[in-house]
Amino acid sequence: DGKIAVVTGASGGIGGSVAEALHERGAHVVLAARSVDKLNDFAEKLGSRAMAVALDVADEHSVARAFEEIEARFGRVDLLVNNAGFGRFELVADAPADSFESMMNVNYFGTVRCTRAVLPGMLSRREGWIVNVASIAGKTATAKSAGYAATKHAVLGFTNALRQELHGTGIRVMAVNPGPVRTAFFDIADPEGGYVNGVKSMMVTPERVARETLAGLDRGRAEVN
Ligand code: NJP
């Protein structure tokens, strides 16, 4: 209640559902992503205690600007959900030259940038929550997931090290590792639908991921799988 929560990649999918669930719990939610029009509509739909902020996690200037704006408006961030991300499922031999780097820049370096933007404030208040949406792809890997899985392995390595580093500081760090979730993620990851067809029966809704995420926070879990 009354906490300031920032959710990256909140313009849809898992981030949208997590933001909505936090808002229902009484948090002030900052909806951050690149699609500002979508975010404004979403903020309007949620009503009071919701604010849209333009953020491209791949761009360090955009990250600095966004967190300055949040700091000016609220003076602090209590909870950061590093959720912004995308994947492209492709064979290593076929992937375009910049594919590995662009996924790493958003999924991994985006998480690092946003975390570093909120850490000084959390450390000085000795309180905070950092939630990193990684993936089951951070724990295992399948063909065509080399680039994407590497980014999520990186996010999990970062998350696990950070948790140890922050032990005793009052800041909690949790990883969320979903399996396949019914979102727009697969429009980019798997435009032909070959992967999606194979996992349809395993897919869960983003609302379910949001519920499990909040339950994990309530229980002080290190990971939600
Ligand atoms: O995907 P989608 P999900 N800067 O496409 C934003 C992980 N995951 O909800 O910027 C800032 O509906 C984008 O907004 P916009 C996955 O790896 C998923 O499924 O406006 N934001 C949108 O709001 C990812 O880390 C599955 O285009 C950026 C959001 O990210 C997270 O869950 C399974 C951005 C993506 O929404 C959310 O994905 C799994 C940038 N540079 C893990 N680039 C799954 N769906 O099956 C993108 O294990 N966004």
Complete domains list, the chain, with CATH: 4-224 (3.40.50.720)
At 161, is the pLDDT very low, low, confident or very high (cuts 50, 70, 90)?
A: very high
Token digits for 59? Answer: 């761009």
Is 0.85 exceeded by the ipTM?
yes
Please provide the distance, in angstroms rounded to a whole number, between the alpha carbons at the two ends of the chain: 25
Q: Which of 1, 3, 68, 222 is nearest to 32 (CA)?
A: 68
Taking the centre of ligand 1 as the mean of its atom positions, its distance from the CA of residue 152, in whole angstroms, is 12
- Ligand 1: residue whose CA is nearest its atom 36: 13
Contact between residue 83 and residue 57 where contact means Cβ atoms under 8 Å apart: no
Give the β-pairing of 28-33 and 4-8: parallel
Task: With H, G, I as helix, E, B as strand and everything else as coil, classify residue 100.
Answer: helix
Determine the Cα angle at 154 with ends 180 and 131, to 5°: 65
- Best substitution site from 6, 7, 8, 11 to test ligand 1's pocket, by max atoms within 8 Å of Cβ? 11
H helices present in the chain, as ranges: 13-24, 36-46, 60-74, 99-103, 110-125, 146-165, 185-189, 194-199, 206-218
State the catalytic residue, choosing from 129, 148, 158, 186.
148
Q: Please state whether the predicted TM-score (pTM) of the whole model is above 0.90.
A: yes
Range 4-18 average pLDDT: 98
Token digits for 203? Answer: 């897919």
At 94, is the pLDDT very low, low, confident or very high (cuts 50, 70, 90)?
A: very high
How many whole angstroms separate alpha carbon 126 and alpha carbon 145? 38
Ligand 1 lining (C-beta closer than 6 Å) = 8-15, 33-35, 55-58, 83-87, 106-107, 133, 135-137, 178, 180-181, 183-185, 206
pLDDT tens by residue, 170-221: 999 999 999 999 999 999 999 999 999 999 999 999 999 999 999 999 999 9
